[in-house]
Structure 1
């Protein structure tokens, strides 16, 4: 009986020790997280203080340069130096707040526009599905698309067509019309009562016809 009680007491002591170890591990983990947060806060503080120091140093340097090189009044120089310190302190305190507010506003607007047009998941044209338009197509409603340095909007005033560009044989880039690549045959029937007169003028007539054909080809 005494051995059984001793064994139970040993198990209870072992469980208590395990709980104490788990509690210690949790405390160490929380301490590690707190230390990481503190390190980040200190890094931000050091960065802010460095910016404040640079601003104050620049302002004081400029003020005393005015005194030495520009011949300014000492009272004006001290006043400018004080204003510079105040501005640097104000900027160091306010800029992080403004940056945070601006980031929140930009994120909110982006989420709103994305939800409005169905592009919150990064889809190009239709609720997250990428729709290719290499061969052309029609957009029936407002659609946003990425551009260098911003976001474009098309179809906001009604249906809009997407037409691919093709570079022709002359090197020009433009929209290719249907059937534009098929060869065209031109047949001319000429009747003249004076064959000899036509033969003498055939060079001039051929040049005029060539110019007319070139104009027609350009207007296709």
Structure 2
């Protein structure tokens, strides 16, 4: 009995140790991600400080060159040096903000212009690209497209066909069939006992042909 209890206690201790190891691994992974983020932030800070240093050095050098080589007044040189330091500090602080705003504006203008050119021909968005469907096509996967008051989704359940509509001779709007533009041949066999009988029946035969053709056009 004592041996069984000792074995159970050993298993519980082993499980606790395993959980502690897993927790330690997770903590180390999180620490690694935090360290990577910190490294990136420090690299950006070093880059900004280097730019600030170069700007200040260039401004101070130019100011003292005016004093030595151009015979400028010391008060003017010191004023120029101070302005140079202020300008470099200002640029270092403001440039990242301006870059962010410019990037957002450029992205918005690009999306707007892309939408104009894409949807002037009829299109939808797939993976950020505009796909024209003026002549129809097939969508094999989920694709979004703009609608009045929202965004539509097609192809979410499988392939879907896009078929352009055309207006027929009767004024109705519908899908044009592939063979709609090909000529149709109609053959009628007429049997008469003689030529005189055929001539007498020409009007009746023409009327029957007209009615048959009209029925065929309505049933297409």
TM-score (norm 2): 0.53
Q: 1:198 to 1:128 in 2, by over 3 A?
A: same
Moved more, 17-26 or 4-13: 4-13
Moved more, 95-104 or 85-94: 95-104
Runs of 4+ in 1 over 2 A off after TM superposition: 104-220
Work out whether residues 126 and 144 of structure 2, in 8 Å CA contact, stay in contact via their aligned partners in 1. no
Q: What's the counterpart of residue 188 of structure 1?
A: 188
Q: C-alpha distance in 2, partners of 1:59/1:70?
A: 16
Q: 1:82 to 1:12 in 2, by over 3 A?
A: same
Q: 1:48 to 1:9 in 2, by over 3 A?
A: same
* Cα RMSD (Å): 13.9
Work out whether residues 146 and 152 of structure 2, in 8 Å CA contact, stay in contact via their aligned partners in 1. yes
Number of residue equivalences: 220
Deviations 1:168-205 (A, max 9, x none): 99999999999999999999999999999999999999
Give 1:31 deviation, angstroms. 0.9
- The runs of 5 or more residues in structure 2 that have no matched partner are none
Moved more, 112-121 or 191-200: 191-200
Q: 1:152 to 1:100 in 2, by over 3 A?
A: farther
TM-score (norm 1): 0.53
Q: 1:205 to 1:116 in 2, by over 3 A?
A: closer
Q: What's the counterpart of residue 14 of structure 1?
A: 14
Deviations 1:95-144 (A, max 9, x none): 11111222223223334444566589998999988989999999999999
